[in-house]
Structure formats: C-alpha cells, structure tokens
Structure 1
Amino acid sequence: MNTKLNYQDAEISTKTTDKNKVDEKTNNIYEAISIIAKRSNQINTDLKKELVEKLEEFATHNESLEEVFENKEQIEVSKFYERLPKPHAIAMDEWLKDKIYFRHTQQDDTEL
C-alpha cells in the first residue's frame, strides 16, 4: 500500500513518553499537547479520507441485497488500516522528531 504519511516509526502500542521531551519546544505541556492533538486530528481525517476512497473502489451499486459477497482485496485494505498506528501515536512521533511545524499567531488588540 502506498500512503502519503510515514507510519513506520510510530508506536503501535501505547508508550510512555518523557514529559520533558514533549514540552521541550514550547516550554508549556498544554501547548505541546494542543499542537499534537491538532496534528492527530489532521492525520485521522487524512486516513479516513484515504480509506473511504480505497473502499469505494470495491463498492457495488446493486439494488439487490441478495448479492452480498466478500472481496479479499477489500478485506486486506481494511486489515492494513486496522494495523496502522493510531493517529495520536503518529502525531507524537512526528512531534518528537521535529516534523511538525507550528507558529504563534499574535493577535493585536487593535485588530479586535
């Protein structure tokens, strides 16, 4: 399967991460977690869109409910996505490897 994101390095199971490594770039754990959560949501959206596109290739547009069959390729696609690391694990891996770009947007009081 060819996917746009790099999933190989992320942990598949839950792993404890050193808090100091997480908040190292922002000096604020809440800000760091917020950035990671936003990236996780982006990854989740991308994965879902990608999966739906691949499963639509197998969709049959029959009116008949009698013809229900299993497609081995469809099952393999589904299993591939089930085995991927979770979006939050991918986002955490990207954060720790400096692959997430973030910036502060300052809002001027005069712009209100």
Structure 2
Amino acid sequence: MDVKKIKAPTSTTTYNRNAIDQQTGNIYEAISVIARRAEQINSEIKKELIEKLEEFATYNDSLEEIFENKEQIEVSRFYERLPKPHALAVKEWLDDKIYYRNTEEDAKL
C-alpha cells in the first residue's frame, strides 16, 4: 500500500470513539493496533526518505563547501507535507485496511 496516496487529514481531527473501538470492542486494544501500524508507516517513510536523500549526499570533509540543492529541498518539503503516520494509521483502521487478530482468542480455540 502506498501511504502517499492515502487521503488522511494533515491537521488534528476528532474521531468518533465508537467507530474506533468497533472492531475490537476495546478502545485501548484498538489504539494499540493503530499505534503499531503508525510505527510501521513511520519506518517505511523514514527509510524511503533516507534513500532519496542519499542520492544528494556529497562526501566532502570541507565545511566551506555547502551547497543548497533545490531538488533535495523539494524532496524534504514533500515529506514534511505528508500526513503524519498516526493519521494514516487511523485512516487505514477506519477503512478496515488493517488486518487485526487477537492471539489470546486464537489460543482458546
């Protein structure tokens, strides 16, 4: 799934508590699942950003030679404008795009 194509809010949004805990029946469990997905999204975005910024890396030891690369600045701004990982995770959760399984219930069966 491409996280850059998800239409999540970029600012603070209030969500219906009942919609969030509908799948699990427990708000704390739902938030735990959302938090884990947000961590995954954050690591994916961070890895991708580092790979793109390495293309612009110069390996000079001279502090006097600092160049402003416009492409590098544009890449950084693009990633700054993306919705935050927690907003993307909540959007995926509300759209039922996160696979959730309770291992304690599976062990009882």
TM-score by length of 2: 0.91
Partner of 1:64: 62
Which of these residues, 16, 20, 23, is aligned with residue 21 of structure 2?
Answer: 23
Rounded to whole Å, the distance in 2 between the matches of 1:11 and 1:24 is 21
Q: Against the structure 1 CA distance between its residues 82 and 98, is the aligned structure 2 distance closer, same or farther, given a 3 Å change threshold?
A: same
Which of these residues, 43, 46, 49, is aligned with residue 51 of structure 1?
Answer: 49
Rounded to whole Å, the distance in 2 between the matches of 1:101 and 1:19 is 19
Rounded to whole Å, the distance in 2 between the matches of 1:56 and 1:4 is 21
Cα shift at 1:4: 3.1
Partner of 1:92: 90
Letter in 2 for 1:69: F
Letter in 1 for 2:39: N
Letter in 2 for 1:100: I
Letter in 1 for 2:97: K
CA contact (8 A) 1:22 1:29 kept: yes
Rounded to whole Å, the distance in 2 between the matches of 1:90 and 1:7 is 10
Rounded to whole Å, the distance in 1 between the matches of 2:6 and 2:93 is 15
Structure 2 gaps, min length 5: none
CA contact (8 A) 2:3 2:88 kept: no
Number of residue pairs aligned between Structure 1 and Structure 2? 107
Cα shift at 1:9: 1.1
Deviations 1:37-56 (A, max 9, x none): 00000001111111111000
Which of these residues, 2, 5, 8, is aligned with residue 3 of structure 2?
Answer: 5
Structure 1 gaps, min length 5: none
Identical-pair percentage: 63
